[in-house]
Each structure stands twice: as C-alpha cells, then as structure tokens.
Amino acid sequence: MKLKAFLKLTILLGLLNLFPYYVPSVSAQGHLQTLIDETPEGGTVTLLDHTYEEEITISKPVTLIGSDHTVIRSCSNQPIIQVESDHVRLENIKIEHCEDPEPSISEPAIFVSGDNIHLEKLHVNSQSIGIQFDGVTNSVIEGGSITTNGTSNGIDVWESSQNRIQGVQIETVIDGIYLERSSDSEISENDIQFARYGIHLMYSDDVLIKENHSYQNFTGAMVMTSTNATITGNTFSENNLNVNSQGLFLFDAHQATVTENTLSENRIGINMISAEDNSLTQNGITSNFIGLQFNTTKDNLISDNSFNGNVNELQAVNSTENDVERNFWDSSIKLEKQSEGVSIFPYQAEPLYLLLTEDVPAYQLFFDSPSMTVIEALFKVPKETVMQDAYPLMQPPITHEEDGFQLLPTILKLVLGSCLTLIGIKLFTFRRKRI
Amino acid sequence: MKTAFFTEWRTTLRQPSSFTFVILWTVVISLLFLLNRGLPQFDGYTNVLGTIINLLLYLLPLFMLIIGSLSITNELESGQWALLSTYPISTFRYVVGKFVGQLVAQIAVFSVSYGISMVLCTILQFPVSLKWMVLIYLFALFLISFFLGIGILIGTFASTRWQALMSSVVIWFIFIMMWASLLIAILQFVPYPLIANVLGITLFLNPAELVRVFFVVQFGGGAVFGQEFDTLVTFFKMTLSLPVLVIYTVLYLATVLTIAGWKLQRRKL
C-alpha cells in the first residue's frame, strides 16, 4: 500500500516537473463565468454533469472540458460561448439555445474570433448559426454535431484561413458548412443532411473538401467564385429535393480538381456554370436524372469518369470547348479497336428524356421502357445541344469492390441453378407414366 | 378443374414445341447474361440490366400471349370444347384449370432453361451477381403469369386460331411497344396537375410496366423515375411490397379469368 502511494507521488511529482508552471484544474459548479475568470491562463476548467444556464465569454487561453451530460444553455440573444482569446480549447460540451418559437435569437451559439482554437466533440443545438468563425486562423472543429432551427448555417466561416473542419454531423441547416473569403482550409469527413447547400464555398481559394458525405440536401456542395478547390473522395447522394438540386455545383469555379467522388441519385450529378479550367476525373456518376450538365463553360477536362444508369448522361448549353474524352458511358455503343480500351464509336448524349420531361416531369416513368424505342424514332434531337465523347472507354475506370472470385455466391448460383433445372425436369416428368 | 389442369400441364410438356422452347430460352438467357461480359459485376441498375429487362419484355409477353390464347382456341377449333360443353362443368373452373396447368408447364420450361443458363454462366464466370439472377428470374415469373392470363382471355374472345394469334400480337404491341406513345398522346387531354396521378393509375393497368418499374426499383434504380413517383418508389423499396405485388397479381388474374369464364359461358349458350 505504502509502496503504491509512494509510486503515485513520484509519478505525480515527475509529471509536474515536466511543466514549467503549475496548471490548476478547477471543477466547475455554480457560476461558470466566474470560474473561468478565476482560472489562470492555460488552466483547465472541468465541467460537471450539470446544466449551466448562462452565456460565457472566454478572453484568455483556457481549456473547458465537459463530461457526458454537461449542457450550457441560454435564451438570450447573444452567443452562448464567445471566444475572444487565442489557444482556447472546448471539449465534450452540449450547447443549446432555448426553444424559440418567435425567432428572436440571431446571434450564433458559438462565436470565435481568436486563433489556434480547438473545438472538439461539441454538440450544438442552435436557434441561429451553430458555430461562427470570424478572422480565425489555425483552428480546428472536430467531431460532435450541429443542428439549427433550419434557417441558419451550421458552421459559418468568415475571412478565416488555415482551419480544419472534420467529422462533424450537421443537419437541418441552411448551409452545412459555409466558407466566405476563407482560403487554405480543409473540410473533411463531415456528414451533412437536410441543408440547402451541404458545403458552400464563396470567394475561398485552395480549399480541400475530402471524404464528406452530403445527402438529402438541395445541393450537396457548391463551389462559387473560388479557385483551386480540391474535391476528392466525397459522396454526394440523393440531393434531389428541389428542381434546382444537384450533387456538386461549380459556379464560376476555376482550376478545381474534382476526383474520385461518388455522385448518385441526385437531380444533376455535377452542374457547371461559367466554370473554367477545372478537371473532373475518376468520379462515379450513377443514377442521376442528369449526370453532368454544362452551361457556358470552357476548357474543362472531363476524363476517366464512369457514368452508370443516369436518365440523361450529359447535357450542354453553349459549352463546346470542353475536353470530354475517355469516359465510360454505360449507354454507349461499344466496339473496341485493337485492344486500346477505347470504343471506335464516339458517344453522343441524346437529350431525349430532357425534351420529353421538359413540360411533364412525370413522363420520366417511361425511362428505359421498351416502348421508348418507338418514341426515340419519332424524336428529332437538336444537334447544338449534343455533346460528344470522341473516345469512350470500353470499361469503367473505377473498379468496384465486388471484383474477383467469391466462393459463396458462386456455390449458391450453382446450387440454385441446378435446383431450378431439377424442379423443371421434375415438373416435366411428373405423372407422365400414368398416361 | 383438376382434370383440365393435369391435362393441360401434361399435354403441353409432351409437345415437342416445349423442348424447342427450352432450347430457345436457354440460348436467350445465356446471351442476355453474356451482355454483361467484360463489365465489372455491379449490383445496381445499369444500362445492360435495362437491356436485359427490355429484351425479356419483348419476348416473354409475346410468347405467353400466343401460347395462352392458342391453348383455348385449339380446343374450340378441334371440337373438344363442344364435347366438354356436354359435361356439367363450370367454365370458370375449366378456364382456371387450363391457366394453372399452362402456367406450371411454362414455369417448368422456363426454370429448366434458366437453371441451365445459370449453371453455364457461373462455370464460364460471366460477371452476373446472384441478386441479379434471382431478381431476373422472379421478374420473368411475374411476366409469365400475367401474360398467360391475358392470353387465355384473348383466346376466349377469338373465334379462330388465326384471330387469336393476331389479337395476341396486337395486345402485345399496345402493352409493350406503343404504351408510352399512347399514354403521351392521351394524356394531352388530361388536366396538367392530374397527369402524374393518371400515369400512376395506368401503371396498374399494364402489368408489363408495373412489373418493370417494380423490379427496376428492386435493382436499386428507383431514383430514375424522378420526384413525381417518390412515394411509389419508396413503397416498392419496402419488403412488404413483394407480397402486395403477389396479391395484386392474384387479383388481376382472378379478374381476367373471371371475364374469360364469363365469355366462354356465353359462347356455350
């Protein structure tokens, strides 16, 4: 026993020696603002399983760590947590606005204006903006969740740079993550639904959007008047709640790299308006109403993408100078020339269903119906809207996981096939002898 | 009913034509599976799958309509029906017996072919997933049942074999080839807000379209039908929808066969 106590003491002393100064830790119960004020710079306030009904302002470098049921709640029209200092860390806290039937709250739940801020596992339920950054650099929002009353942005970043937003679950918002004049940032592994725009960039350059999942929004992600965005490994799906919905919207975007994303079941997979010099490669574009739509775009490279089961693969208006080649088109006629992996027939997108559903969207029910062949013969397609891929690929460039030999399905197929044959033969020979 | 059922079943399968059909279906199904060669195995809805479904929609209903209608008119023309009329049997039972017997025979023919194709494709390693195989088989079964029923109905209305054959082709042409153009033409006279609803209802009149839409949803391609049919697609995605489709099939066939029985009864008089 004594030995244990001695060891503990030695370890404790050793640990303390590692730090140049003594870092006090305060357990908070009672008035939170007072406790924060009393905590020295660099100190830690450990919050209890308690609901604190107040707003706080943090104006020095401290750490606030909550436990599983720590809640900070407020009903007034000012930020629940206002961070004015640098080097502040908030962790594991639930932050809530009161129910606000008449929208009187316009201030964000968390307002940050310092640098090197770390927000981790914060669960924000706001009646206004969830988290707002203004002039923040080198900061991180990691984990946790954000919901609003549906009329404000989840995370709103304004004139801030070099920040990272990672692994946050956002729903019921206007824009999930909104960046304006905020360059050199990273948005990754977030999960966003029920938003107008899942991710929205405005005048923000060099932003990395990686491995996010944005679904059931009006638009999965929107890049507007921004240069050099990298959009990779994201899934934008089921963004079809509006007639103007799309998975990814590039508006006046320049030099964006869009690669290895999955866009499925959107109204439009990728929509580009006035976008130039972008490169779209190795994306999987599946089951959208329109796979890819261009309007007044030029000098974009669209290559090595895989278009599967879209009602319309490609539509273009005033966009003749794009480089569309070597994509895989599920519906193209394919005949290979000397095993170059490329079909000798160029692929021309037929805007048949677009014309058909222009006035009556319900006619989409006839998609791929055998009776459409008759209509196809009747339709005259205006040539100027037709875009073509001169060298369509024979095989999709993206390989699926199910490739390769699998024993169980093979055995099941064999067994099922043999069973069907035997049952059929049995039905053939049944009671035959009696006649 | 039992006698009609067993007779129909046995005579159909004893005909050399049923063996021809086994060969035909085996070749067709294997070729359909072969379409997917060179493409990676993909569980979702693709253009190739659309083509497979379409080719089955061209072939199966046509053959089933012809077989169904001829099975009735054959007996009418050969005088067997006149003989049967002297027996105290109900025409409805006779029609049901004929339908079920024919159904069992056609399922036997199709199953043998499908089974052989499945084994062949697996051995030759065509990249067709198990899910596809099972769903395509079920799709074919529904088509066979619906169109045999309709074929029987056509048979009761036709007076000669030739007439039955022509009517079958006409019905096939309307249901399979002209359906979209026909509806688009008719729907011009329907008030705009009602178009989606009317289209939804017509889906239940043409079993080929209903079964096609149902199975495209099962293959994961529900999104292609658009916002207007979201509720229908969501319903089709539920597990409950298959039993509902089965019940619908039974009701549809019951109606069709009742009309057939009624018509035949009138011809007896």
Percentages of chain A per state (helix, strand, coil), in multiples of 5? 15, 35, 45
Which amino acid does the sequence have at B149? G
CB contact A355 to B (< 8 Å): no
Q: Give me the pLDDT at residue A435, please.
A: 45
Question: What residues are paired with B197 via a beta bridge?
Answer: none
Q: How far is B269 from chain A (nearest CA, A)?
A: 33
Q: Which of A350-359, B179-188, B242-251 is the most confident on average?
A: B242-251
Domains held by chain B: number: 1
Q: Give me the pLDDT at residue A229, please.
A: 94
CB contact A424 to B (< 8 Å): yes
CB contact A335 to B (< 8 Å): no
The rounded distance, in Å, linking the Cα atoms of A32 and A54 is: 8
- Percentage of residues in chain A with pLDDT exceeding 90? 48
The rounded distance, in Å, linking the Cα atoms of A179 and A201 is: 5
Does residue A385 have a pLDDT over 80? Answer: no
Closest Cα in chain B to A308: B46
Interface test with B, best of A266, A415, A420 (most B CBs within 10 A): A420
Residues 6+ apart with CB under 8 A from A370: B54, B57, B58, B176, B177, B208
Strands A388-389 and A347-348: antiparallel
How many C-alpha atoms does B221 have within 13 Å on its Cβ side?
Answer: 29
Residue A398 near residue A282 (C-beta atoms within 8 A)? yes
The rounded distance, in Å, linking the Cα atoms of A65 and A380 is: 67
Does residue A12 have a pLDDT over 60? Answer: no
Q: How confident is the model at residue A24 (pLDDT cuts 50, 70, 90)?
A: very low
Domain membership of residue B136 as a residue range:
2-268
CB contact under 8 Å between B122 and A364, yes or no, is no
CB contact under 8 Å between A420 and B114, yes or no, is yes
Residue A265 near residue A246 (C-beta atoms within 8 A)? no
Residues 6+ apart with CB under 8 A from A145: A123, A124, A168, A169, A170, A171
Does residue B25 have a pLDDT over 80? Answer: yes
Q: How far is B24 from chain A (nearest CA, A)?
A: 15
Closest Cα in chain B to A362: B196
Closest Cα in chain B to A291: B224
The rounded distance, in Å, linking the Cα atoms of A428 and A166 is: 63
Which amino acid does the sequence have at A202? M
CB contact under 8 Å between A371 and B107, yes or no, is no
Contacts of A289 in chain B (CB under 8 A): 223-224, 226
What are phi and psi for residue B10, nearest 5 degrees?
A: -70, -45
Number of helices (H), then strands (E), in chain B: 12, 0
CB contact A312 to B (< 8 Å): no
CB contact A403 to B (< 8 Å): yes
Nearest to A211 by CA among A183, A228, A197, A231: A231
The rounded distance, in Å, linking the Cα atoms of A130 and A186 is: 18
Q: Give me the pLDDT at residue A30, please.
A: 60
Contacts of B30 in chain A (CB under 8 A): none
Residues 365-384 of A with CB under 8 A from B: 365-375, 378
Q: Answer positive or negative: Cα dihedral of B129, B130, B131, B132.
A: positive
Please name the member of A238, A288, A370 whose beta carbon is closest to the beta carbon of B57: A370
Structure token pair of residue A200: 């929205």
Contacts of B221 in chain A (CB under 8 A): 287, 309
How many C-alpha atoms does B244 have within 13 Å on its Cβ side?
Answer: 12
CB contact under 8 Å between A287 and B45, yes or no, is yes
Does residue A300 have a pLDDT over 70? Answer: yes
The rounded distance, in Å, linking the Cα atoms of A85 and B28 is: 74
CB contact under 8 Å between A424 and B216, yes or no, is no
Instruction: Evaluate whether ipTM surpasses 0.90.
Output: no
Residues B144-167: pLDDT tens digits?
999 999 999 999 999 899 999 999
Q: Which residue has the tokens 């975007």?
A: A253
CB contact A362 to B (< 8 Å): yes
Does residue B39 have a pLDDT over 60? Answer: yes
CB contact A352 to B (< 8 Å): no
Closest Cα in chain A to B7: A435
Which amino acid does the sequence have at A56? I
Q: Give me the pLDDT at residue B63, please.
A: 94
Nearest to A312 by CA among A355, A272, A281, A278: A355
Contacts of A333 in chain B (CB under 8 A): none
Q: How far is A266 from chain B (nearest CA, A)?
A: 8
- Fold that domain A25-182 belongs to in CATH: Pectate Lyase C-like (2.160.20)
Q: Which residue has the tokens 């025409």?
A: B91
Strands A219-224 and A71-74: unpaired
The rounded distance, in Å, linking the Cα atoms of A113 and A135 is: 6
Question: What residues are paired with A83 via a beta bridge?
Answer: A58, A112
Residues B198-249: pLDDT tens digits?
988 998 999 999 999 999 888 877 777 877 888 888 888 888 899 999 999 9
CB contact under 8 Å between A309 and B179, yes or no, is no
Contacts of B196 in chain A (CB under 8 A): 361-362
Q: What number of other Cβ atoms are within 10 A of residue A103's Cβ?
A: 11
Q: How confident is the model at residue A6 (pLDDT cuts 50, 70, 90)?
A: low
CB contact under 8 Å between A424 and B112, yes or no, is yes
The rounded distance, in Å, linking the Cα atoms of B219 and B46 is: 9
Closest Cα in chain B to A365: B225
Q: Taking all residues of chain B, what is their mean pLDDT, rounded to a whole number?
A: 88
What are phi and psi for residue A187, nearest 5 degrees?
A: -120, 110
Closest Cα in chain B to A430: B10
DSSP characters for A351-378?
Answer: -HHHHHHTT-GGGGGGTT-TTHHHHHHH
Q: Answer positive or negative: Cα dihedral of B129, B131, B136, B141.
A: positive
Nearest to B235 by CA among B212, B218, B252: B218
Q: How far is B174 from chain A (nearest CA, A)?
A: 9
Residues 124-153 of A with CB under 8 A from B: none
Q: Which of A25-39, A69-83, A347-361, A373-387 is the most confident on average?
A: A69-83
Contacts of A395 in chain B (CB under 8 A): 38-40
CB contact under 8 Å between A289 and B177, yes or no, is no
CB contact A246 to B (< 8 Å): no
Contacts of A370 in chain B (CB under 8 A): 54, 57-58, 176-177, 208
Q: How far is A215 from chain B (nearest CA, A)?
A: 14
Structure token pair of residue A9: 């003491």
Residue B179 backbone zone (phi > 0: left; psi -120 to 50: alpha; other: beta): alpha
Closest Cα in chain B to A332: B47
Please name the member of A287, A360, A395 whose beta carbon is closest to the beta carbon of B224: A287
The full length of chain B comes to 269
The angle at the Cα of B232, spanning B231 to B238, to the nearest 5 degrees, equals: 95
Q: Which residues of A53-80 are buried (b: 16+ CB within 10 A; e: fewer)?
A: eebbebebbbbbbbeeebbbbbeeeebb
Residues 69-88 of A with CB under 8 A from B: none
Q: Give me the pLDDT at residue B166, please.
A: 95
Residues B98-156: pLDDT tens digits?
999 999 999 999 999 999 999 998 888 887 888 888 999 999 999 999 999 999 999 99
Q: Give me the pLDDT at residue A19, please.
A: 42
Q: Which residue has the tokens 């966003």?
A: A192
Structure token pair of residue A149: 């009353």
